[in-house]
């Protein structure tokens, strides 16, 4: 698969391919009722209630995260990630397709993780909603236990895909190159909306490109000229593009869109605002981004 997206028709035609490994990366993240109202749950229950036939639930909160980190969805140790992926039945020659039950952001997060491990995968454009809208059926309950996979790729993340708090501090201080880009909504960026995180606002010097602006009314990624227009504000930005959001999830959708547009110097700040806003000594600012 040379493209990061596949259509529901493409998937439906290959649903019985023995090489197919279909992963449901859904997570349930509640809308906040007040600042600091962070409530997140596994998407396993939703997967049990209905999933595409043959799909296995990929646990971004547990097995595919670092349990010792101070923030959710933290990038796991590469060996832990590889072990979890083997448990999901992935092989070197697997056709790996990832989807989720909502906006495709969770699927993009897992896609970026796999890509950083050197594992080829694709995201189902439009996710489960597009599958249902096309008239395809769902399966309920547990799937047959998957045999362990035999991934031979090294348990190592490739350079240039992830940055940490120290890297961001260097950019903010003007000691490292790059443009920080917040993928959250304009209201979360400027601090006018209730936030799940410890403080409102954005990292100083950031640009704002809401990930939701990358999708059409049907929940599919914009293509061609429409995608180019959505990304136009970053065309003259100083590379690399250093993406963040609340927990490195919306940022992954932006990373996928940038990849489709041919951008290669892109990295995600894993801790994002969950980590940054929780440390009072780190600067946050409010107000709109500069024109």
The whole-angstrom separation of Cα 162 and Cα 271 is 10
| pLDDT at residue 145, as a whole number | 66
Residue 201 lies in a domain: yes
One domain for residues 179 and 253: yes
Residue 114 lies in a domain: yes
Q: What is the CATH number of the domain that holds 116?
A: 3.40.250.10
Number of domains in the chain: 2
Q: Identify the three-state secondary structure at position 202.
A: strand
One domain for residues 178 and 264: yes
Alpha-carbon radius of gyration of the chain:
18
Range of the domain at 181: 162-276
Domain boundary among 133, 153, 183: 133
Query: Is residue 141 pLDDT above 70, yes or no?
Result: yes
- In tens, the pLDDT along 148-157 reads 888 988 899 9
Query: Is residue 235 pLDDT above 90, yes or no?
Result: no
| pLDDT at residue 1, as a whole number | 66
Residue 291 lies in a domain: no
Lowest mean pLDDT among 30-34, 151-155, 263-267: 151-155
DSSP state of 49: H
One domain for residues 19 and 109: yes
pTM over 0.95: yes
One domain for residues 265 and 181: yes
The whole-angstrom separation of Cα 271 and Cα 273 is 7
One domain for residues 262 and 173: yes
Which two three-digit tokens encode residue 90? Answer: 């992935």
User: Of 156, 196, 47, which Cα lies nearest the Cα of 107?
Assistant: 47
| pLDDT at residue 7, as a whole number | 97
One domain for residues 167 and 225: yes
Provide mean pLDDT across the span 40-54: 96
One domain for residues 186 and 227: yes
């Amino acid at each position: 698969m040379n493209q990061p997206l596949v259509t529901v028709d493409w998937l439906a035609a290959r649903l019985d391919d023995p090489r197919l490994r279909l992963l449901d990366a859904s997570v349930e993240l509640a809308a906040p009722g007040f600042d600091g109202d962070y409530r997140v749950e596994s998407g396993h229950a939703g997967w049990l209630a209905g999933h595409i036939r043959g799909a296995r639930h990929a646990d971004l909160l547990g097995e595919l995260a670092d349990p010792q980190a101070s923030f959710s969805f933290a990038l796991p140790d590469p060996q832990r990630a590889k072990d979890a992926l083997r448990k999901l039945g992935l092989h070197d020659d697997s056709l790996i397709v990832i989807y989720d039950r909502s906006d495709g952001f969770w699927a993009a997060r897992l896609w970026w993780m796999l890509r950083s491990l050197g594992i080829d995968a694709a995201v189902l454009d439009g996710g489960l909603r597009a599958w249902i809208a096309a008239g395809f059926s769902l399966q309920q309950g547990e799937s047959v236990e998957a045999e362990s996979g035999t991934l031979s790729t090294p348990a190592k993340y490739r350079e240039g895909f992830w940055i940490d708090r120290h890297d961001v501090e260097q950019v903010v201080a003007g000691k490292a190159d790059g443009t920080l880009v917040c993928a959250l909504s304009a209201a979360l960026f400027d601090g006018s909306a209730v936030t799940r995180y410890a403080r409102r606002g954005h990292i100083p010097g950031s640009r704002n490109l809401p990930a939701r602006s990358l999708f059409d009314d049907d929940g599919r990624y914009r293509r061609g000229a429409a995608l180019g227009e959505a990304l136009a504000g970053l065309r003259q930005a100083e590379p690399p593009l250093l993406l963040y959001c609340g927990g490195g999830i919306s940022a992954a959708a932006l990373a996928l869109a940038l990849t489709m547009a041919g951008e290669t110097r892109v990295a995600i700040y894993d801790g994002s605002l969950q980590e940054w806003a929780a440390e009072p000594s780190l600067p946050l600012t409010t107000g709109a981004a500069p024109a």
